[in-house]
Structure 1
Amino acid sequence: MRRASLIACIVAFFMLISGAALAAEAQRPSVFAIGNVEIDVTAADAASARTLAIAEGQRKAYELLMRRLLRPEDVSRAPVVDPATLNGLIEGIEVNNERASAVRYLATLTVRFDASTVRGLLKANGLAFTQTMASPVLAVPVMTMAGADYLWQPDNPWRQAWAEHDLANRLVPYKLPDADATDRLLASPREVIDDDNTALNRLAARYDLERTLVVRLTLEPDLAGEGFKGEIAVAGTAGFPNLTQTVTLPGEGPTAENLGPAVERVVRALDDWWRGETLVRMDQGGELAVTAPLRSIADWAEVRRRLTRVNLVEDMTIDRLTAREAAIVLHYVGEADQLRLALRQASLVLDLSGTEAMLLLEEIHRTPAVAPVAPAPLPTSETSDGGAGEPR
């Protein structure tokens, strides 16, 4: 009884100190949140236009959510919901860029869906779906044409195509480098093309990211036609599969506009691959007892914070909590490998190689264990004949 009370007090204390962190975590991109939904409706008056526009935006967001969560072949089987059911699926709406006239309303919405309710709806309809968004990657578009490499130049049309493309609401979130003087110092075109991990890691660290995605476009004149032909290859440190696609361009050569479809093919292919890796059925799952090593009170708060980002973890039971470790049971859906992948996106490492499962903060996992240092021997004085004298 006393032990249970002690654990409860410690947990309450950790929850108190991590409250601000958990609130900030709620603002992170979520697989169940759809952003950048543009609405534009004209009606008899401004109030009617706003009501109709918000309803239209919610419907658009639901359709985008189904495309994100479901396999392409299952999208047509997505549940058809009436307005009342749709409202019950929505946790909250954020409205930005509002503009209105006497009869027209325009805005951009972010619609956050309730994860539990959406899961229940899809499970009831027998649909497998993903619940895991990849951690953000730094996309580095580099182009080679006529023997010249284009990376940080302002006139790199391949980078411009990525910058102008709609990358919102993807399962793999992307960040583009600023292409400024600092980026030029951190990574040269040759280092990027050669997939130099040291240079790519330097570049990612500048943007507080851990992974890079090098997207190389190689073009040459199409001798059989009037345009250009080439190949897109994906590399980098993101751990994505090797992806190669062909591309053909008109005689005017590469522009941000005519390269847009190529960008879409790449991001869609990566989304499809990620969805396939993380697709789960709600009738799969189990429990896993893990031990989380702790260096301080803050580590436990951080473990809890990161676990809130893992949708596959439905619940957590604390068996033991000390200053040095936490023994917990994770109640999860999906398969163990999918759980490991989902945890990794939240910077948590699940290590099943030992006799007991370990759950480590990624920064602890990266830090090699330091062997104990033997104490230095006591200094000795030398005797006149070279022998050791008594310790001083």
Structure 2
Amino acid sequence: MDTGSIAWAITATALVLFMTPGVAFFYGGLVKAKSVVSMMMMSFGALGLVSVLWVLYGFNMSAVGSVWDFAGNPFSDFALGGLATGESANTDLIGVAFGATFAIITVALISGAIADRAKFGSWMIFAGIWATVVYFPVAAWVWGGGWILNLGESLGLPAVIDYAGGTAVHINAGAAALALALVLGKRVGFQKGMDKPHNVPLTLLGAAVLWFGWFGFNAGAEWLNGLANSGLIVINTLGATAAAILGWLVVEKFKDGKPTAVGAASGAVAGLVAITPACANLEPGWALLLGVVAGALCAFAIELKFKFGFDDSLDVVGIHLVGGLIGTLYLGFFAIDTGLFTGGGLGQLAVQAIAAVAVMAFSFVVAWILGFAIEKSIGFRVKNEDEIAGIDTVVHGHEGYQLESV
């Protein structure tokens, strides 16, 4: 492989890795000041744990030998000793590292649903098991030769399109987030407007880091085909995200009277989520429309938790689950050559829907069982008095902001 492609692969890996601190900043600014360390540590904990698991056995599980295998054999090349000594080790190991960054951020995204009330040790146990029994297998289904990748061929329909993770990352994380929010229950005093973001600039910084890193997230895998579609992916990642900001802010203006900075940041993330599966398979005009639709609908979707009574603290469900569903299903209508309105029939929509529903259901059920088991055994939620006071000192021994008199 040429050195330019290798250099882009390393750069894209670093960009996507940087997105997990971006999630920490984005989430950290949204919680109260005495919970910011706990919130950010859940992302950094996922970064440490999932990286190790991916190297030990996760990468082995992310590819299958047969279409209907649940996952690859975790012990087939434990700790990558064989891969590291192979003839193509240089490029193979870069690919492993790139895949690790996707696993890391998928797990980190879930944490926003249980902000302000989760024990760190319990979160780490959940993160390790969920990555093992949900993310690693789903990655194999979607990208590693599994049933979702081959669904279209099996049914005589177009192949499922999920270029960078609408199902494997966002629907997967969003469904798990919903399950954990239900298991841990509502925060003390849960109601609309109960907690204001303690640091809006930190949230905006997080959104900016995510947008920056997302060019590696969406276009990173292009190193494998000589960057052939990188131009389309980059312009779609830019355009859909920008349009989603506008869509969210317009809805927010009419709904709440004011367009907010947090709304702009949330709209950007909603657009990034929606364009993730579709970035290589939409014409730029349709990508702009997707952004507007995702931004507007996600601005409404974040209100569902008040309507249905589940406490998704930082709107992981409203942005990642809903945004992932929008982007995945949108391809059924507007994917280049195969969408219902772009030269195809209903086949593309059918396979997109099957993949989305399957991943959503699987992730939700497993996450709920895991979360329930942890809560009933060692406990997942902190005490109410610790939650009210702010959990940074109780869980981690220090606060995010040490104010001293001069």
Give the TM-score band, short-chain normalised.
under 0.3
Q: Which has the higher contact order (CA 8 A, sep 6+)?
A: 2
Structure with the largest fraction of helix: 2
Please say which structure displays the higher CA radius of gyration: 1
When normalised by structure 2's length, the TM-score is 0.24
Bigger strand fraction:
1
